[in-house]
A = this chain, B = another copy of it.
Amino acid sequence: MEHEQNFQLLKTLLNEISDINRATSLLGWDQQTYMPPGGAENRGHQLSTLQQIAHSKLISDEMGRLLEELAPFAAQLDPASFEACLIRVARRDYEKATKVPLEWVAEFVMATTIAHEAWAKARQENNFAEFRPHLERLLELAHRYASFFAPYDHVYDPQMDNFEPGLKTKDVQAIFDALRPQQVKLIQQIASRPQVDNSFMFLPYDEQKQWDFGVEVITKMGFDWKRGRQDKTVHPFTTSFGLGDVRITTRVYPNYLAPALFGTLHEAGHAMYEMGSDPQLDRTPLLGGASSGIHESQSRMWENLVGRSYPFWQHFFPRLRGIFPAQLGNLTLDDFYKGINQVKPSFIRVEADEATYNLHIMLRMELEIALMEEKVSVKDLPEAWNSRFEEYLGLTPPNDAQGVLQDVHWSGGMMGYFPSYALGNLIASQLWERIMVDIPNITEQIRAGEFAPWLSWLREKVHRHGSKFEPQDLIQTVTGSKIDPAPYMRYLETKYRQIYDF
């Protein structure tokens, strides 16, 4: 009886924290979509005030007391029950938040604010020296951050745990060590074949028509417009203000078809995941995705596994060609399919194709780990970047702006995030192999523009659980094994051997 009461109190407190966090997300969404430039300064104050209030509620004595008193209650619950998961996740968040001193948080916010400006300038001026002291400072802060969580298996673990709860550095290293040589070899094989033509992607395409086609496709796939919307932004993202309001953003280029087309599918994949949680999870920390990697598996599945597949375009290509007859009228489906799947090593991660993308990620993660292990110094980072880049992708970056300085992440102190991008690709393929078993005619369904059974499967197996389970446990339950690179390599091999004919 007393436990029931304490659980209700905990839930109410978590509801309030969720309300504040979701309101904060709306402020962030507005900042990146509609806010006039004059609003920036006050928006910073508003975000900071709301974040502080949410944080102080999370680390409050009341939270500590409730979690303490609920521990024996939680121990006797089914570990997969809503109550047990909520208490476990709340305790994890509480312990993480209380372990990190407020002084560190203040220093970190200050350091990243300055570092972000320095990075933007350094990239613009192609001058790594400008960014170097700031990255050194952030690395020092990252070491201190790790120390709050000692003892740990690996100094990189505490960083990565923020994005992939429960996952260990050694596990991820093992996965990527198995994957890397296979991906490098595949790319070399592709490079020895005649290149496919994708010039049709770079013609003028009416922006409104691009937008409308994206809307048409994701509507057909099951994006629920009563519980979501799409707006324009510079750097697309997905955000949620609760189960009934999940928003995607996109950018449309007048002379390049890919960003709007595949970006919309990508973000819709994230959004469908957010929309699919069990209603019971709403207004709690269990709402949404199990990890950044699982989230990325959903977006990549829509964007690549389905969105760049042959049966998908068997259904949609006639329609797209009807909308853009001048640009696509003389193109066959095969030409189009090969063009959108062109593999070509390039310097910039966000422009990378499916086959090379993971190598960009592995390089970054390896460097992050080397920095944390103090095996590489910040001073030597550009050189380490370039030599690895040549080894994996066969290219030497012409300058640091197109090399080590290209990503915003490090300037924001976001170390440990990159692995999730690559893990998402692997998980997507693992899930897909499972789907092909459970829905034997999935290919025919996609060819017919029929996506409901596939979405239902994802809802049932993945979405509804929100973040109740850690990523490895969730994948194990759904596919029968933990995160595994083999299905992804099978997928890449099959697809690109066919496209490049070897």
Contacts and interface: CB of A to CB of B under 8 A. Distances in A.
A328 to B, nearest CB: 29
Interface stretch (A43-51, A151-159, A350-358, A427-435): A43-51
Contact of A46 (B23, B38, B229): B23
A244 interface: yes
Secondary structure at chain A's binding surface: helix, strand, loop or mixed? helix
A23 B27 contact: yes
User: On chain A, which size bracket covers the interface?
Assistant: 35 or more
Interface in A372-405: none
Interface stretch (A204-212, A219-227, A443-451): A219-227
Interface in A212-235: 224-229, 231
Interface string A111-133: 00000000000000000000000
A42 B226 contact: no
Most chain B Cβ neighbours within 10 Å, of A24, A34, A46, A226: A46
A53 B53 CA distance: 9
A134 B24 CA distance: 35
A30 interface: yes
Contacts of A42: 19, 22, 241-245, 282-283
Nearest to A16: B49
Nearest to A242: B42
A396 B392 CA distance: 84
Nearest to A30: B26
A343 to B, nearest CB: 38
A9 to B, nearest CB: 15
Number of chain copies forming the complex? 2
A245 B39 contact: yes
A37 interface: yes
Nearest to A35: B245
Given A19-B46, A49-B20, A36 B243 contact: no
A300 to B, nearest CB: 25
A38 B46 CA distance: 25
Nearest to A25: B46
Contacts of A439: none
A417 B55 CA distance: 38
B228 A36 contact: yes
A23 B24 CA distance: 8
Contacts of A486: none
A374 B19 CA distance: 42
Nearest to A19: B49
Contacts of A45: 15, 19, 242, 283
A320 to B, nearest CB: 27
Given A19-B49, A30-B30, A50-B19, A43 B229 contact: no
A38 B283 contact: no
Contact of A245 (B19, B22, B38, B226): B38
A78 interface: no
Contacts of A224: 38
B36 A226 contact: yes
13 contacts: A15-B49, A19-B42, A23-B24, A34-B231, A36-B225, A36-B228, A36-B244, A38-B243, A39-B227, A39-B241, A39-B242, A41-B242, A41-B244
Interface of A: 15-16, 19-20, 22-24, 26-27, 30, 34-43, 45-46, 48-50, 53, 224-229, 231, 241-245, 282-283
